[in-house]
Each structure stands twice: as C-alpha cells, then as structure tokens.
C-alpha cells in the first residue's frame, strides 16, 4: 500500500486537481520555452509547431496517467464501460481520433508547413498552426479558420509557397471592346509598373501577367504575385489595390 492508497477521497480530489494544475502550468511554460528557443535559433515555424504538438500529447498522457493513479481506476472499468461510452461518444470520439491520426499524418508527410500559403479544397489561406485536431488557416477575410485534419487529408492540397515566397495567381477578365495591344500597353502593364514602383519593398519580384484564354465573350489574363513567405496579410491588402488600379485604367479606356 502506497501513500495515495491511504488518502481519503476528498484529499485525493485535492491532490488530483493540484497535479492537473501543475501539469497545465508546466505545459504552458515549456510551450513558451519552445517558441522562444525556436525564434532564437531561427528554427522553421513547422519544426516549432511539431515540438509543441508532441509536448501537448505528452502532457495529455501524463495527466491521464496521474488521474488513473490517484483515483486507482482499474483497466476493467474501461473494458466494462466501453459499450456505454461508445453509445454516448461513439461518433464524436471516432471523429476526434481520426483527426488526431490525420494531424500526425499531415506533420509527417508535410503536404505543407507552418507559414505556407495553401488551398485545401475550396479553402485557402496561410497555415498558422497544425494542432492535434485542426489546421489553422489565416484566410483572405483576415480570420482564423480551423480546418479538421480529416478534411485536410481527404482534400486536394495546392501549396503556393516555393523558394521562401508565395506565388499567388488570380484571374481578371475583359470584354473585346479594346484591342489586346491597347489593353496591355495602356491598362494592364502601366498599372503593374505603377504598383511595383509603389510597393517594391513589399514584393520579391514584379507582378507578371499572362494571357489565359479568349473566346467570343471576352479575354482572361492571369496576374502572378510574389510575396515573402509568411506575409499573407500583405497579399490580402495588395491584391485588391492592384486590381483596382487595373480596373480604373480599363474604365477610362472604355469611356474614350
């Protein structure tokens, strides 16, 4: 018989609560230590995120083991109560377990890393964190979206981050009212030149324009942005500005 076995239930409750609080505090301190050390050593954000995720799993395992020990919960309780627990939590717990497995799959296979700019199915944004259950995306609406890791694993993933910068492409359409040469020389290219001169420090390269397709209804052009990795907010601010500068010139051409 050990020390815990001799404690009455009320003292076990206090001891269990104290252990959980101590584990929570230790988790917070270690998580901050990992973040600060990662910044000091200039580790990749993805590596820092992976360390924090492992720490979180270890904290959960240690906390669970402490509770089982303090309250002397035998394994037979889980075996005997599995049917009841499954009835209440079966669907929810299976989803949670699937998300956890998918989270580790994402970390190991690395279809993207923290601070990469990605499209996951119809969703897009900058990866801010990969947790046990979710991948957090910083979206073009300046919000943080939590995407279940099972959805990540079951979706097509387009990673637009290469060579430490974001290669972002968007489409702009025009009618056939103005010839192509006039459209490029008096509308699109001057807008890109002015935009680049204004925001040269915020970009790694000058935006590029390509003809996408043409049909009897109009023409489509692709505009490519080059923004430093991890600075999606600049993309969200600069893209509408360039689009507005192009459309202002287009309106003037149409009204001539």
Question: Does position 6 have pLDDT exceeding 80, yes or no?
Answer: no
**C-alpha–C-alpha distance, residues 139 and 125, integer Å:** 4
More confident residue, 114 or 45: 114
Sorting pLDDT into bands at 50, 70 and 90, what band is 49? confident
Q: Domain of 200? A: 165-255
Question: Is residue 14 one of the residues assigned to a domain?
Answer: no
* pLDDT given for residue 2 in this prediction: 53
Sorting pLDDT into bands at 50, 70 and 90, what band is 79? very low
* pLDDT given for residue 21 in this prediction: 85
Sorting pLDDT into bands at 50, 70 and 90, what band is 35? confident
Question: Is residue 223 one of the residues assigned to a domain?
Answer: yes
Question: Is residue 143 one of the residues assigned to a domain?
Answer: no
pTM assigned to the model: 0.69
At 157-178, the pLDDT tens digits run: 999 998 888 999 999 999 888 8
Sorting pLDDT into bands at 50, 70 and 90, what band is 64? confident
Average pLDDT of the chain to the nearest whole number: 81
Question: Is residue 87 one of the residues assigned to a domain?
Answer: no
Q: How many folded domains does the chain comprise? A: 1
Q: Please, what sign has the CA dihedral across residues 194, 199, 200, 206?
A: negative
Question: Is residue 103 one of the residues assigned to a domain?
Answer: no
Question: Does position 10 have pLDDT exceeding 80, yes or no?
Answer: no
Question: Is residue 172 one of the residues assigned to a domain?
Answer: yes
Determine which of 42-46, 196-200, 222-226 has the lowest per-residue pLDDT on average.
42-46
**C-alpha–C-alpha distance, residues 92 and 111, integer Å:** 26
Number of neighbouring beta carbons within 10 Å of residue 202: 14
Question: Does position 23 have pLDDT exceeding 60, yes or no?
Answer: yes
Average pLDDT over residues 19-44: 80
Element (H, E) at 137: strand 134-138
Question: Is residue 50 one of the residues assigned to a domain?
Answer: no
More confident residue, 248 or 18: 248
Q: What is the CATH number of the domain that holds 217?
A: 3.30.70.100
Q: How far is CA 16 from CA 5, 75, 92, in A?
A: 13, 18, 26
Question: Is residue 246 one of the residues assigned to a domain?
Answer: yes
Burial, 253: exposed, middle or buried (Cβ in 10 Å; 0-12, 13-18, 19+)? middle
At 129-156, the pLDDT tens digits run: 888 788 999 999 999 999 998 899 889 9
């Amino acid at each position: 018989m050990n020390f815990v076995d001799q404690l009455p239930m009320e003292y076990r409750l206090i001891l269990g609560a104290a252990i959980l609080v101590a584990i929570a505090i230790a988790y917070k301190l270690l998580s901050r230590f990992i973040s600060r050390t990662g910044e000091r050593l200039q580790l990749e954000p993805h590596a820092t995120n992976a360390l924090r995720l492992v720490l979180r799993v270890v904290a959960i395992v240690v906390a669970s083991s402490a509770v089982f020990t303090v309250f002397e919960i035998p394994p037979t309780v889980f075996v005997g109560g599995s049917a009841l627990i499954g009835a209440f939590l079966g669907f929810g717990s299976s989803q949670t377990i699937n998300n956890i497995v998918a989270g580790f799959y994402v970390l190991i296979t690395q279809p993207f890393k923290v601070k990469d700019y990605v499209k996951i199915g119809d969703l897009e944004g900058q990866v801010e964190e990969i947790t046990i259950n979710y991948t957090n995306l910083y979206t073009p609406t300046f919000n943080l979206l939590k995407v279940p890791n099972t959805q990540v694993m079951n979706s097509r993933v387009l990673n637009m981050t290469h060579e430490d910068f974001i290669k972002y492409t968007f489409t702009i359409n025009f009618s056939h009212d103005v010839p192509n040469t006039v459209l490029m020389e008096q509308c699109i290219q001057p807008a890109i030149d002015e935009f680049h001169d204004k925001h040269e420090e915020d970009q790694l390269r000058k935006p590029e324009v390509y003809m996408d397709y043409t049909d009897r209804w109009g023409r489509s052009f692709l505009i490519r942005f080059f923004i430093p990795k991890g600075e999606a907010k600049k993309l969200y601010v600069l893209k509408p500005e360039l689009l507005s500068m192009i459309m202002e010139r287009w309106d003037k051409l149409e009204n001539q």
